[in-house]
């Protein structure tokens, strides 16, 4: 480790302390944002400034944000200049505008959660990159390498980042630059749209176009966005495709065209065929398991969590929450490193987590600070917005992370505290300016065997329909709801070629065995009795056999891998096992 990296352990200790002891620091009140806070279904999503997070989610978010905003050795103003010019000197310099665009989106989230240093960094970056925009509207070399799809891809992130900056500041320079970029994407539509489906590296400019249209209402922008949306389909690179499908969902918000949600649902179903038992998805589709070099990508996992949350917000279908929650607390948490950053780990059905891609001559290990560390922070910062939503007169409790959400127009605040991510129990405390009659709809996760609810210490008179428990009453400030989910260790069947194997889950958490240095890891089998139930030892751990004999190995939640202190040599974690039936 270079000498200038020696401050990182202290920074992360600070981040951990912040997460465990206090909420996200809040900035002074700001003018109302220009963003859309409600979908066309009427489900209201909390603005970031009205959400505090605590506990593990906040610890991870603080670590991810500190890993970016304190790393002036990685993200220098010279690197942003090189990125805008498409010249060596930036981490991914071949993707012009990618670094500064993602950075502006990172600052959009950081500013919304009270990181005041974001405002200064945003102003500095804009001052450096805006004068470097080319006459055709793009960033990068002049003339542009139009047939290199890294160029429109990087510029697509630049477009969205500039609009995030405009939303935060009202800086007309950012808006004017975004308007100029439309010309570049218009000129390249025919080239990237000539295949069966449009090239996803180009198509993910869609979310920026939609955001620009929400500001300008310019028919040319809407027309280009709709032409791109009409050519979306089944795409190989999950991160860029999911980024485009975020734009599809936001285009639905503006137009009400249900086709955009249908197409998004179809792509999520397609990804689901390659999803593994840890909740992970691969960087490239389709995944057959035959390629030993297959890997995940922090960027793709981040988008996958957010797209599923967005789909819940538009449809009200809880299975999207189940998918998002499962991926978040398992594979996405596992993808994070002790630095706070995100990157790439090996992707197999039976064993995950060890190293594959390590760019920049291994300088950062398996962390990818060029994109994944930024996009992981971006997603972690937004998850809290979906924990509690409003649908009509009802409040919906969707995720049981430790959060506090305020609905200022309603004069209501809900605080959730518990043991997230295990989620055995949660306490929900309501604060209200005056007594109010409405319903609170509690989600009952799929993994819960049963749910027990008490209001102010007494058994609740509640109605359960499907995946929701509805509590209807006159609520007063200080009312408390205690929720306990009954669950235990259980077996979950594998998929695809691993359908005869099983994973071990403890409630919502996928468990695994760290296999580095264990030569027999391929032969591990979990013990079940004749009834097919998991056999546990005296210590509560699943009993494991190798070559017909019990062995002493321990399971851990795979999300705990982020505490492994070596990003250069991440652990290999076995998550799927054959069954050993005991007598």
**169-210: pLDDT as tens digits:** 999 999 999 999 999 999 999 999 998 999 999 999 999 999
Could you please report the per-residue DSSP string of 196-235?
SS--HHHHTTHHHHHHHHHHH--HHHHHHHHHHHHT----
Q: pLDDT > 90: what percent of the chain?
A: 85
d(CA 482, CA 459): 9
Please say if the pLDDT value at position 44 is more than 50. Answer: yes
For residues 379 and 308, is the Cβ–Cβ distance under 8 A?
no
d(CA 101, CA 92): 12
Please say if the pLDDT value at position 539 is more than 80. Answer: yes
d(CA 395, CA 120): 36
List beta partners, residue 135.
Answer: none
The pair of three-digit structure tokens given for residue 471, joined into one six-digit string:
């509590």
d(CA 432, CA 434): 5
Please say if the pLDDT value at position 33 is more than 50. Answer: no
Q: b vs e for 155-173, b when ≥16 Cβ sit within 10 Å of the residue's Cβ?
A: bbbbbbbbbbbbbbbebeb
Tokens 């202290």, located at residue:
10
Q: Kindly calculate the radius of gyration of the chain based on its CA atoms and give it in whole angstroms.
A: 24
| 60 Cβ neighbours under 8 A, 6+ residues apart | 19, 333, 336, 340, 380, 562
- pTM equals 0.93
The pair of three-digit structure tokens given for residue 97, joined into one six-digit string:
């505008």
* pLDDT confidence of residue 267: 98
- 496 pLDDT tier (thresholds 50, 70, 90): low
Please say if the pLDDT value at position 31 is more than 70. Answer: no
The pair of three-digit structure tokens given for residue 36, joined into one six-digit string:
């859309």
Please say if the pLDDT value at position 521 is more than 80. Answer: no
Please say if the pLDDT value at position 21 is more than 90. Answer: no
User: What is the four-CA torsion angle of 189, 193, 197, 198, rounded to 10 degrees?
Assistant: -30
- 519 pLDDT tier (thresholds 50, 70, 90): low
* pLDDT confidence of residue 28: 29
DSSP 140: S
Lowest mean pLDDT among 150-159, 220-229, 482-491, 519-528: 519-528
CA angle 166, 132, 139 (to 5 degrees): 80
Q: Do β-strands 412-418 and 388-391 pair in parallel, antiparallel, or remain unpaired?
A: unpaired
Residue from 145, 102, 138 nearest 122 by CA: 102
Domains observed in the chain: 390-486 (2.60.40), 489-581 (no CATH)
The pair of three-digit structure tokens given for residue 396, joined into one six-digit string:
């919906």
* pLDDT confidence of residue 42: 63
Name the 3-class secondary structure at 377: helix
| Of 359 and 34, more confident | 359
Count the Cβ atoms, other than its own, within 10 Å of residue 251.
27
* pLDDT confidence of residue 497: 57
Please say if the pLDDT value at position 246 is more than 90. Answer: yes
Please say if the pLDDT value at position 292 is more than 90. Answer: no
pLDDT 10s digits, 379-423: 999 999 999 999 999 999 999 999 999 999 999 999 999 999 999
Name the 3-class secondary structure at 394: strand
Mean per-residue pLDDT over the chain, rounded: 91
Average pLDDT over residues 548-565: 94
Residue from 299, 385, 345, 303 nearest 44 by CA: 385
Between the two ends of the chain, the Cα-to-Cα distance in Å is 52
Sheet hosting strand 388-391, strand order edge to edge: 43-45, 388-391, 394-397, 436-443, 468-475, 463-465
* pLDDT confidence of residue 6: 33
The pair of three-digit structure tokens given for residue 374, joined into one six-digit string:
């930024």
Please say if the pLDDT value at position 11 is more than 70. Answer: no
**Cα dist. 509→4, 16, 257, 322 in Å?**
36, 21, 37, 12
Tokens 């851990």, located at residue:
556
Residue from 507, 577, 519, 551 nearest 351 by CA: 577
d(CA 489, CA 502): 12
d(CA 301, CA 69): 22
Count the Cβ atoms, other than its own, within 10 Å of residue 190.
8
pLDDT 10s digits, 45-77: 999 999 999 999 999 999 999 999 999 889 999
Sheet hosting strand 579-581, strand order edge to edge: 549-551, 544-546, 525-528, 579-581
The pair of three-digit structure tokens given for residue 434, joined into one six-digit string:
């005056």
**Cα dist. 185→146, 220, 257, 365 in Å?**
10, 12, 23, 35
- 118 pLDDT tier (thresholds 50, 70, 90): very high
- 145 pLDDT tier (thresholds 50, 70, 90): confident
d(CA 179, CA 83): 20
pLDDT 10s digits, 296-355: 999 999 999 999 999 999 999 999 999 999 999 999 999 999 999 999 999 999 999 999
């Amino acid at each position: 480790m270079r000498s200038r990296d020696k401050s990182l352990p202290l920074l992360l200790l600070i981040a951990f302390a912040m997460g465990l002891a206090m909420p996200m620091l809040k900035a002074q009140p700001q003018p109302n944002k220009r963003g859309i806070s409600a979908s066309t279904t009427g489900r209201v999503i909390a603005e970031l400034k009205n959400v505090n997070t605590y506990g593990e989610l906040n610890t991870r978010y603080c670590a991810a944000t500190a890993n970016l905003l304190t790393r002036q050795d990685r993200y220098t103003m010279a690197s942003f200049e090189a990125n805008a010019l498409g010249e060596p000197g930036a981490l991914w310099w071949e993707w012009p505008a990618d670094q500064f665009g993602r950075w502006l989106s990172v600052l959009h989230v950081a500013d919304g959660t009270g990181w005041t240093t974001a405002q200064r960094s945003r102003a500095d970056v804009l001052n450096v990159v805006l004068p470097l925009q080319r006459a055709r509207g793009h960033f990068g070399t002049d003339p542009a390498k139009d047939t290199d799809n890294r160029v429109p891809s990087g510029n697509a992130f630049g477009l969205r980042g500039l609009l995030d900056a405009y939303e935060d500041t009202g800086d007309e320079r950012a808006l004017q630059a975004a308007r100029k970029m439309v010309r570049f994407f218009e000129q390249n539509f025919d080239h990237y749209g000539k295949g069966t489906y449009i090239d996803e590296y180009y198509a993910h400019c869609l979310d920026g176009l939609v955001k620009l249209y929400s500001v300008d209402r310019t028919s040319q922008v809407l027309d280009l966005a709709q032409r791109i949306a009409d050519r979306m389909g089944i795409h190989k690179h999950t991160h860029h495709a999911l980024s485009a499908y975020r734009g599809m969902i936001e285009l639905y918000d503006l137009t009400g065209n249900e086709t955009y949600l249908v197409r998004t649902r179809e792509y999520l179903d397609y990804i689901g065929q390659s999803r593994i038992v840890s909740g992970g998805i691969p960087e490239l589709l389709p995944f057959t398991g035959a390629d030993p070099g297959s890997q995940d990508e922090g960027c793709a996992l981040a988008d996958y969590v957010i797209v599923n949350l967005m789909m819940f917000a538009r449809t009200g279908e809880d299975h999207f929450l189940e998918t998002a929650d499962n991926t978040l607390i398992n594979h996405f948490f596992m993808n994070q490193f002790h630095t706070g950053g995100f990157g790439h780990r090996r992707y197999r059905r039976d064993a995950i987590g060890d190293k594959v891609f390590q760019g920049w001559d291994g300088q950062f290990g398996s962390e990818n600070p060029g994109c994944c560390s930024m996009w992981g922070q971006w997603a972690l910062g937004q998850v809290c917005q979906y924990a509690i939503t409003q649908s009509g007169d009802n409040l919906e409790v969707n995720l049981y992370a430790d959060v506090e959400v305020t609905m200022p127009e309603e004069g209501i605040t809900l605080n959730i505290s518990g043991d997230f991510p295990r989620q055995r129990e949660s306490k929900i405390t309501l604060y209200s300016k005056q007594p109010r009659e409405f319903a609170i709809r509690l989600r009952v996760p799929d993994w819960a065997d049963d749910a027990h609810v008490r209001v102010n210490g007494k058994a609740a008179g509640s109605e359960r329909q499907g995946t929701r428990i509805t509590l209807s009453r006159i609520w007063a400030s200080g009312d408390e709801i205690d929720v306990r989910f009954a669950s235990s260790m259980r077996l979950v069947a594998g998929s695809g070629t691993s359908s005869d194997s099983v994973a071990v889950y403890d409630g919502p958490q996928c468990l695994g065995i760290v296999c580095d240095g264990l030569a027999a890891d391929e032969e591990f089998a979990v013990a079940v009795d004749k009834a097919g139930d998991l056999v546990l030892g005296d210590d509560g751990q699943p009993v494991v056999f190798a070559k017909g004999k019990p062995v002493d190995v321990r399971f851990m939640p795979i999300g705990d891998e982020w505490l492994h202190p070596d990003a250069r040599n991440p652990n290999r974690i076995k998550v799927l096992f054959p069954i050993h039936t005991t007598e």
